[in-house]
Amino acid sequence: MIIHPADISVMVAIFAATVALAIPLGKYIARVYAGEKTILDPLFNPLEKGIFRFIGVDPTREMNWKQHLVTLLTINVIWFPLTMFILMNQNWLPLNPDKIPGMSPDLAFHSTCSFITNCFQQHYSGETGMSYFSQLIIMFSLFFLTPAVTLAAMAVVFKALLEKATVKLGNFYNYYIKSITRILLPISILTAIAFLFSGIPMTFHGADTITTLQGAPSVIARGPLAAFESIKMLGLNGGGFFGANSAHPFENPTFFTNVIENIFHILLPIATVFALGFYLKQKKLAWMIFGVMTIGFLLLLTPAVYYELKGNPAIAQMGIDNSLGNMEGKETRFGVAASAFWSITATSSMNGAVNCMHDSFMPMAGGMQLLGIMVNSLYGGVGTGVMGFFIVIILAVFIGSLMIGRTGQFLGKKIGMREIKIAVIITLLHPFLSLTGTALTCSFPSLTLPTLNNPGSHGFSEMIYEYTSASSADGSGFEGLGDNTPWWNISCGIVILFGRFLPIIGAVAIAGLLAEKQHLADSAGTLKTDNPVFGLMVFSLIFIIAALAFFPALTVGPFAEHFSLH
């Protein structure tokens, strides 16, 4: 095993650059949602006024938490039938120069569930499964619209935690539009320009035919990729224009684009943590949350990089040089360390993009990817990461307060039984969906065994990865799975819908219930939530929940495969 200092330096530099960008971005996000002046006001104020006038919405009309949830769900319901219709009829719709056929009803159902939830789990290959029209109207549009939904929901939670006692929590449409115009759009435009000059194509021409060095013709798919790729990574959408995703040279051609895309994995998730601190004027709380998330991230990253650099012992026993590490399924332009780093940042942030094949990782590294999705409490998705951690904090405050004989209190609001019941249900929902889906699949071997590319423990890992990815809205897969069947499409689509919307509903409901309560002053016995001791308690709670829920499954899957190699 060779660990080059340059590999470590690059990973440290990427993470440091991400944090350095996330802090001012978090401050900017807090100012946007607080309605304070920003440098982009002269540019976007007229645009937003025009949008609100066009859709007939008064952005100053206050909503309670129930009205926010109704609006959130309504926005997604509108997109569902439209997306299904386009996917099933793309064969005769415009912008289809390669004559791509329409999707089957079950594949269209899964894809629709995946696209409207920011999951973007794909059971098809992008360049052969979707026309330019579908890519633009569905994928590209929803790349903006779906993360904006969760950012707006996060803003509602921020508002609820800030207020002393109120039912007025701002306007969802206002948060929603500003999430697009003030946050996602400016950054993605600048990044798309950088990607364009880095060699990522931007064209509406169909596939091109070239002649290889051997003299044989080869068909090369292309498309409007520079704009597509920038918002795909920024919004943690992860869906690939190509089946190979960010391992494809048209989506991720150079070391520079790989670094930028890697930064985007965790930029907004970390920025929203700091935005919480700036918005609530609770910077110590934000640093505590960031610290816990980062410790968990490093505990996943270290073994993943180590075992990938160590390589496959079965290959070493054959007398084959294994000094470069496990290069199976990886691009030589990125190498082992950068690929392992990408896989952990992506699975910790619920970004389904891949620059290598997770199915080809060593078992322990694949287990760390799985664990990152299973924990679902590290950096997390855009907005959902902060809201998910908020649920964990509620549970930790309740348990910690019982330990010292006090009533649970967070940011001056007493935590009651309603909030705890919702938090417990949401916490157990993710493992319930992931494990139940896997158990049902194992119960029908005639439907599922033919779809597995590998037997034994690795095949089990492929199955549980698919459902865990669906439940957490990560969207990536081990990809050793023939998942375009009615069983996988329908079951994963259902898991995606429940796994996406119920946690958001739970977080907004808890925040709304807390906002209605009278603010209580801290006393000498109040459990402090912004110090390392509470951070350790939160981390321990995350570990215990993950161990009780998922370690038996990990033992049957990647851990069993790891020990079989040794």
CA–CA gap between residue 177 and residue 48 (Å, rounded): 7
Per-residue pLDDT, 405: 74
Are 56 and 303 a contacting pair, CB within 8 Å?
Answer: no
How do residues 305-328 score in pLDDT, each as one tens digit? Answer: 999 999 888 888 888 888 888 999
DSSP state of 104: P
Q: Is the pLDDT of residue 126 over 70?
A: yes
Residue 328 CA neighbour count, 13 Å, CB half? 14
Between CA 317 and CA 308 the distance in angstroms is: 16
The model carries a pTM of 0.94
Positive or negative: CA dihedral 41, 46, 48, 49:
positive
Reported as a single tens digit per residue, the pLDDT across 523-553 is: 777 788 888 999 999 999 999 999 899 999 9
Give the burial string for 326-348 (b: 16+ CB within 10 Å, else e): bbeebbeebbbbbbbbbbbbbbb
What is the amino acid identity at position 10?
Answer: V
Q: What is the pLDDT of residue 136?
A: 85
Q: Which carries the bigger pLDDT value, residue 221 or residue 462?
A: 462
Q: DSSP letter string over 266-280?
A: HHHHHHHHHHHHHHH
What does the pLDDT read at residue 2?
58
Region of residue 406 (left: phi > 0; alpha: psi -120 to 50; beta: else): beta
Contact 79, 110 (CB under 8 A): no
- Statement: residue 144 has pLDDT above 60: yes
Nearest to 110 by CA among 535, 487, 452, 434: 487
- Contact at 8 Å (CB) between 213 and 219? no
Over the stretch 327-355, which tens digit does the pLDDT of each residue have? 998 998 898 999 999 999 999 999 889 99
Q: Are 480 and 458 in contact (CB under 8 A)?
A: yes
Domain boundaries, the chain: 34-281
- Mean residue pLDDT of the chain comes to 91
Burial of 218 (0-12, 13-18, 19+ CB in 10 A): exposed
Helices and strands: H and E segment counts in the chain: 22, 4
> What confidence tier does 1 reach under pLDDT thresholds 50, 70, 90?
low
Reported as a single tens digit per residue, the pLDDT across 63-115 is: 999 999 999 999 989 999 999 999 999 999 998 888 899 999 999 999 999 99
Distance, CA of 467 to CA of 549 (rounded, Å): 14
pLDDT at 128 over 70: yes
Q: How far is residue 552's CA from residue 368's CA, in Å, rounded to a whole number?
A: 14
- Which own/partner contact pairs does 87-94 have at CB distance under 8 Å and 24+ positions apart? 87/111, 87/112, 87/130, 87/134, 87/138, 90/130, 90/131, 90/133, 90/134, 91/131, 93/131, 93/133, 93/134, 94/133
